[in-house]
Structure 1
Amino acid sequence: MVAWLLCAAALIACVVLRLYSLLPKGTIHKARIRPGTQSCSLAVFLGSGGHTSEALTLVSSLDFTRYFPRTYIVSEGDILSARKAAALERVKAAVSPPYSVHAPYRILTIPRARRVHQTLLTTPLTAACSLLACLYHVTLCPIWTSAPLAEVLLLNGPGTCFVLCVATYFNRLLGLPSPRLIYIESFARVRSLSLSGKLLRPFVDRFVVQWETLLQRDKRGDYRGWLV
């Protein structure tokens, strides 16, 4: 029994050390500059409501002939966000028709980690279902198809984006290809970070805020001004 406990403790210690080694170090991360002709696959989590509007505003400024294929991740039942993403693609296609041949997109639906007004007692179950779905799309599907979910995963809340982060770190723990995580705090957060921001700040590769006051206490992050 003692031997089993020692083995379990050693395994846990190895996992913790491995995770610690994967955490982004330092307060400023040097951006990776790609050649202008090199494409980049992109995944964007649309958190519904204002989160979706902000995320799509950010994405709309990108060159779609360079950022492809694109994956829009929406929560189950969030039909409006899926429609807005499809509408953005139609607008881009109308403005610049040649891009559509080179820039496919898809809309990926995953279970919500926590529904609106859901009790804390039942939240672990729905969060576990959401995590399993994320592991399927982030870990298993890329193994079968040899096509990673994306090179970059853009997040701006709410809670389900934390589950996506966990799935990404599961890949990193196993040494599998994983997207770089970019979290952009909502424009509405002026004086304090959102819960998602507080949870994800130590784990994401780039943490961007739109109000400089949010970096007064903890300097880890980038202030880029108003992005939306």
Structure 2
Amino acid sequence: MALALVLLLLLSVVVAFRIYVAFTPRQRSAPKARPAETCGLAVFLGSGGHTSEALSLLHSLDFSRYTPRTYFVGVGDPLSVQKVTALELLKTGTLPESTVTNPAAQHRVLTIPRARRVHQNLLTTPFSALYSLLVSAYHVTVAPFLCRSRGPATRFDVLLLNGPGTCFVLCLAVLLNRVLGLPSPRVIYVESFARVKSLSLTGKLIRPFVDSFVVQWPDLLDDGRRGSCYGWLV
């Protein structure tokens, strides 16, 4: 009985420590990549103006360095898929491919359920958010493990977020990796250009958990909490 209590106590300490590590943003600077190195990049496209802002952030990147690229889009958002196709054609001259049919694909589009649909009843939101989290966890945690032998396109080192609540669910999926001690990407959240005086609800929720929190208007940092402002990015 005493041994069981000791083991339970040790397990509780380990779990508490893993949760502490997972929910503590990585404050250290990311190591500078060497010229020959690439960085796997994932970005969430929140539809409409959020998609335009996210793709604007990517437009100036060197796609030969930021590869493979993963685009997360919400279910029922064909416009974002079309914009991804246009960007990839412009930058690389190729179309997004499936890593199932082509393991060497360097860019792909993955769909995830929305955490909350427009005008959705608040009573049903926890169920849709949980479903979105399960699918996100599959893409972030399970798929890279199952498909690690298929090629590099299943991994990403940086997750760029900008948009509605579904991106918070993706952030939670990354935190799950950290709790389990699995490899996880650095998470960067860029607040929408439209948020001039106050943070969005997603920004307020996600701020404590991301590795880098970036705003485009300095007034949003008046509260003295962590965050960076580099001016207009889109």
Q: Count residues in correspondence.
A: 218
CA displacement, residues 143-185 of structure 1 (integer Å, 9 cap, x when unaligned)? 1112654110000121000110111111110011111100000
Tell whether the 8 Å contact from 2:18 to 2:178 is kept in structure 1 after alignment: no
Q: Give, in whole Å, the separation in 2 of the partners of 1:8 and 1:163.
A: 30
Letter paired with 2:137: L
AA paired with 2:81? A
| Pairing 1:185-200 to 2, within 5 Å after superposition | 185-200=191-206
Structure 1 residue aligned with 2:77: 78
What are the superposed Cα offsets for residues 28-67 of structure 1, whole Å, 9 maximum, x if unpaired?
Answer: 6424311122100100000001100000000111000110
d(CA) in 1 for partners of 2:227, 2:119:
31
SS of the residue corresponding to residue 92 of structure 2 reads helix
Secondary structure of 1:219's partner? coil
Distance in 2 (CA, whole Å) between partners of 1:224 and 1:33 is 19
Query: 1:178 and 2:184 equivalent?
Result: yes
Instruction: Kindly report which structure 2 residues correspond to 1:1-228, keeping only aligned pairs within 5 A, or say none.
Output: 15-24=15-24, 29-94=28-93, 104-146=106-148, 149-228=155-234
After superposition, the Cα gap between the structure-2 partners of 1:103 and 1:39, relative to the gap in structure 1 and judged at 3 Å, is farther
Preserved CA contact (<8 Å) 1:67 1:103: no
Q: For 2:186, give the aligned amino acid.
A: R
SS of structure 1 residue aligned to 2:134 = helix
Q: Unpaired runs of 5+ in structure 1?
A: 96-101
CA distance in 1, matches of 2:92, 2:139: 27
Cα shift at 1:142: 1.1
Give 1:17 shift. 3.9
Structure 1 distance, partners of 2:217, 2:175, is 28
Inter-partner Cα distance in structure 1 for 2:50 and 2:18 = 32
Unmatched tracts of structure 2, length 5 or more? 95-103
Per the alignment, do residues 128 and 11 of structure 1 end up closer, same or farther by CA in structure 2, a change over 3 Å counting? farther
The CA distance in 2 between the partners of 1:82 and 1:59, in whole Å, is: 15
Give the conservation status (yes or no) of the 8 Å contact 1:151–1:180. Answer: yes
Shift of 1:124: 0.8
Identity across matched positions, percent: 58
Q: Which amino acid aligns with 1:51?
A: H
Do 1:68 and 1:103's aligned partners in 2 also have CA atoms closer than 8 Å? no
Q: CA RMSD in A?
A: 2.5
Distance, in Å, in 2 between the alignment partners of 1:50 and 1:15 is 40
CA distance in 2, matches of 1:85, 1:69: 14
Q: CA deviation digits over 1:113-166, x for unaligned, max 9?
A: 100000110001111111110111111111111265411000012100011011
Q: Which moved more, 1:143-152 or 1:127-136?
A: 143-152
TM-score when scaled to structure 2? 0.85
